Amino acid sequence: MKRLILSASLVIAVAVSAHNPPGELFFAAQFPDNLVPTMAGNLADWDIVPIDPYTIRNDRLYSPVAEIQPVGRGEIDASDMNIRHVVGWNENLNKIYVMSEVFDNIHNNDRQDAARFNHDDAWEVEVNPDHTPTEEHNQAEQPANNFSYKWAVPPVEGQYQFYRPNAALSWLVDGSQWVDFGWGFSGDQFGESTYRYELAVTPIESMPRDNAITESQAVVHNLDEEEIIHISITVGDIDEPTTGDFVLESYQGFWTLSPESCCTGTNDFVMAPVEPSIAALSATAIEEVTWGQIKAGF
């Protein structure tokens, strides 16, 4: 596993090679135990994370599917869609946290088949904890090692969560020890609006490609400070009703961190040390709780 030597300010002291895009690193902010975000869809818990180097905006996003929008990196029309991503992690809970704030001039949610999330606006997170390149993801006859968490909200007929490559595991669901998802919005729910997505996952390093497997067969990846893993985030924008099967022309935009399109984690994310500003907030919160407990004893 590749590792970095980082200072508290995240200055890279050792050169490393990334995967795709080559030579680029993103950073996951480390949350102390008493400041981990709650997956409630309001994003307030993320305000403690410094903007730099953690915030990812339109300029870092690709439109890799030419049939949808043949434009260059960062060439997104912010009046149509404006995106902000932040990634975090916690060592003791061994969790990855992802949040996105997505302004959209039209939030589409009219799929006729509740299972076809790709007929509506969707949010997709890819996690490849073992840091392998795309050609080694989910190979035939091999255990799965790249996991997709896909969401389309509001739910249609109760369906809003979609997982790949194993799609029908009763234990890998929202609200379990493996997955916790939250969402919210402001504005016109199906018109001009800003949607907020939050996801917490326990990173699975590998598991058999079988929809009958049990939780005990999932190999958990233990996150370490300064480790690099692969995470990618995609936002699909559909403004018009989609008919039939998967129709590329229905997409208004398809914006992703990865130049390799969707459905695979390729971006190098460093599990960063705790920022000094976050550590100070954590210590203050502990002191306030402790002093409150002392006063409560009188």
Residue 140 CA to chain centroid, in angstroms?
25
Contact partners, residue 272, CB within 8 Å, separation at least 6: 6, 10, 27, 28, 29, 30, 54, 225, 226
- pLDDT recorded at residue 227: 97
The answer to the question of residue 12 being in a domain is: no
The answer to the question of residue 13 being in a domain is: no
The answer to the question of residue 141 being in a domain is: yes
Q: What are phi and psi of 259, to 5 degrees?
A: -75, -5
Contact partners, residue 19, CB within 8 Å, separation at least 6: 131, 133, 230, 266, 267, 268
The answer to the question of residue 36 being in a domain is: yes
The answer to the question of residue 4 being in a domain is: no
The answer to the question of residue 7 being in a domain is: no
Q: Please identify every stretch of the chain with a pLDDT value under 50, giving residue numbers as ranges.
A: 1-18, 289, 291, 294
**Structural domain of 145:** 26-296
- Extract the tokens encoding 116: 């076809």
Q: How many separate domains does the chain show?
A: 1
The answer to the question of residue 130 being in a domain is: yes
SS3 state at 223: coil
Q: How far is CA 218 from CA 126, 166, 274, in A?
A: 17, 11, 28
**CATH number of the domain enclosing 111:** 2.60.40.1190
In terms of Cβ atoms closer than 10 Å to its own Cβ (0-12, 13-18, 19+), residue 249 is: exposed
The answer to the question of residue 16 being in a domain is: no
